[in-house]
Structure 1
Amino acid sequence: MANNIQPEMIRTTKNQRERFAYALEQVVGKDHVRDGIGTLSEKTVHAVLKYYYEQDQSHHEIILEKSVADIFTGSEVIEIQTRALYRLKPKLEKFLPLYPVTVVYPIPYDKWVCWINEETGEITQKRKSPKKGTPYLAFKELYTIRDFLQDPNFHVRLVLMDMEEYRILNGWSKDKKRGGERFDRLPLRLEDEVVLDSARDYLQLLPLELAEEFTSADFAKLVKIPRQLAGTVLLVLWQLGLVERVGKVGNRYLYRVAANASDTKDSASS
């Protein structure tokens, strides 16, 4: 196969899951009572991940280069961003020339949705979403900061976790669910942590079953994501030099894994 150089997907260890559970306990508490809006703190995912990556709270929210770093250990920066990665651009421009920077992006793996009645504070019984999270969902966000991906100081952690999502019944539909505002997300369990420290690490996202030449539609079918998202993933991999365009099928690009993809490392530093 063209991409038999694919490295193993990095799996979480028992130690990582225990550390995540400990962070969750410290931030949320063992007996988190969900009986009204007032019991939920905003940005819970952000707070738990900040504690997961750095338990020493004296390293949290540090003023650095006239910006505030989520975590600064003295030698590296960790930024936890639950959405809109493009907002990190000003920080990345300041921090990357000086320090290694790790961007942490959480993705719901299994998700249960609960609805909150604005007036009474009552919370509905949770219902499981049929959708399952995948690392590919991050690529819509990674695309917005693609100019930084090959910087040798730039690193990514995609954190897949089970979570409960709380939404407010204030939408425009009759049942007030469509357009309802998301209030908070409560992490439950760490499922996986995908480590992307160099361009070559992105190869783990190319399935071994790919044909030697393939389109975005072929890729989408194999990894079970929408074709538009598959196109975004391949565009990022193309810009990283991991896949190359070898022609077209109709109006779709035909791709193959780049011949030198296995040698692709931190290209900016090699």
Structure 2
Amino acid sequence: MDINTYNESSLHKTLKTLYASENGFQTEVKKDGYIYDILDADGNAIEIQTKNLSKLLPKIKKTIKRGKKITVVHPLAVQKTITLTDTEGKIIAKRKSPKKESIYSLFRELTGLHPVLLDEHFSLEVLLVTITEKRMRTDTDVQSKNGRRRFKKNWLKTDNELQEIIKTVSFSNASDYLKLIPKSILPNFTAKSLAEELRRQKDLPSSASTYAHLVIWVLVRMKLIEHTGLQEKSRLYKINDNFIQPEAYGKFY
């Protein structure tokens, strides 16, 4: 087994197979000191990344420097089912997770990638998916595999499985990102007004509004929006004049 696939989840493996098999591309290709998930015949890359997108930045920059295109595919679980099995693999519990992601969850992953998001060689494909998270009961309370649990629990997460791709959202230019700013709050808005509008969107989970400040943070650093002043002690923003195309924005939903 290749060292790059040893800890690969079913979700990652399924998406990699899907993207590669549809086009007959190579997988797990070594190039310039990196192992790429997928390379096409022209040397353009596709990377499947379920979390920690910022870790890809050196690889992305290297690929761009070679004059090749790179697409990062990132799944977001808008619905998750959790199954718990005993040590023999028998399901002993099954439930729907209350945690739901949305397209705005993406921005927690973009803080480290903002330098390349508008590069002509870079694109991002966000998959809104449903998944099954598999957990296994343990005899005693244990720490998680990544060591991040504050308190030990009597189960371990063993895998994520893809159930369905509901929607694919592509990002390759300024308009794609600015569409996520609701038209109702333009032309001038604050992080607070953005959060309030996201809370009003019935087709978004309540967690979407918590990413308002990150949306602002990323778009400012991409130079897509700019600070224009204060409104009741809150920073006021507007779309950068270089990107004003009102008819194109606020149309994600």
Q: 2:171: which partner in 1?
A: 196
Q: 1:234: which partner in 2?
A: 216
How far apart are the structure 1 equivalents of 2:118 and 2:155? Answer: 38
Whether 1:67 aligns to 2:53 is no
How big is each residue's C-alpha offset from its partner over 1:103-141, in whole Å with a ceiling of 9 and x where there is no partner?
Answer: 111100111111233x34332332112333211111111
1:77-156 matches, cutoff 5 A: 77-98=45-66, 99-117=68-86, 119-156=87-124
Secondary structure of 2:211's counterpart equals: helix
Whether 1:53 aligns to 2:35 is no
Offset of 1:189 from its aligned partner?
A: 1.0
Q: Give, as a single letter, the amino acid of the residue that structure 1 aligns with 2:39.
A: F
Which of 129, 132, 136 is the aligned partner of 1:168?
A: 136
How big is each residue's C-alpha offset from its partner over 1:138-168, in whole Å with a ceiling of 9 and x where there is no partner?
Answer: 1111111212112211110111111111123
CA RMSD, aligned part only?
Answer: 2.5
Offset of 1:191 from its aligned partner?
A: 0.7
Q: 1:213: which partner in 2?
A: 188
Is the 1:42–1:183 Cα contact (8 Å) retained in structure 2? no
Q: In structure 2, do the counterparts of structure 1 residues 204 and 96 end up closer, same or farther at CA, with 3 Å as the change threshold?
A: same
Q: 1:4: which partner in 2?
A: none
Q: Which structure ranks higher in relative contact order (CA pairs < 8 Å, sequence separation ≥ 6)? A: 1
Which one is further off, 119-128 or 190-199? 119-128
How far apart are the structure 1 equivalents of 2:154 and 2:26? Answer: 37
Q: Give, as a single letter, the amino acid of the residue that structure 2 aligns with 1:115.
A: L
Higher strand share: 2
Offset of 1:211 from its aligned partner?
A: 4.0
Aligned pair count?
220
How far apart are the structure 2 equivalents of 1:179 and 1:194? Answer: 37
Q: Normalising by structure 1, what TM-score?
A: 0.73
% identity of equivalent residues: 29
Secondary structure of 1:126's counterpart equals: strand
Whether 1:244 aligns to 2:226 is yes
Q: Give, as a single letter, the amino acid of the residue that structure 2 aligns with 1:136.
A: Y
Q: Normalising by structure 2, what TM-score?
A: 0.77
Offset of 1:42 from its aligned partner?
A: 5.0
How big is each residue's C-alpha offset from its partner over 1:30-80, in whole Å with a ceiling of 9 and x where there is no partner?
Answer: xxxxxxxxxxx9511111111221206661111111211100002210011
Is the 1:105–1:158 Cα contact (8 Å) retained in structure 2? yes
How far apart are the structure 1 equivalents of 2:64 and 2:131? Answer: 31
How far apart are the structure 1 equivalents of 2:18 and 2:182? Answer: 30
How far apart are the structure 2 equivalents of 1:247 and 1:179? Answer: 51
How far apart are the structure 2 equivalents of 1:248 and 1:180? Answer: 49
Secondary structure of 1:148's counterpart equals: coil
Is the 1:104–1:156 Cα contact (8 Å) retained in structure 2? yes
* Ranges in structure 1 where 5+ consecutive residues have no aligned partner: 1-40, 264-270
Secondary structure of 2:189's counterpart equals: coil
Runs of 4+ more than 6 Å apart: none
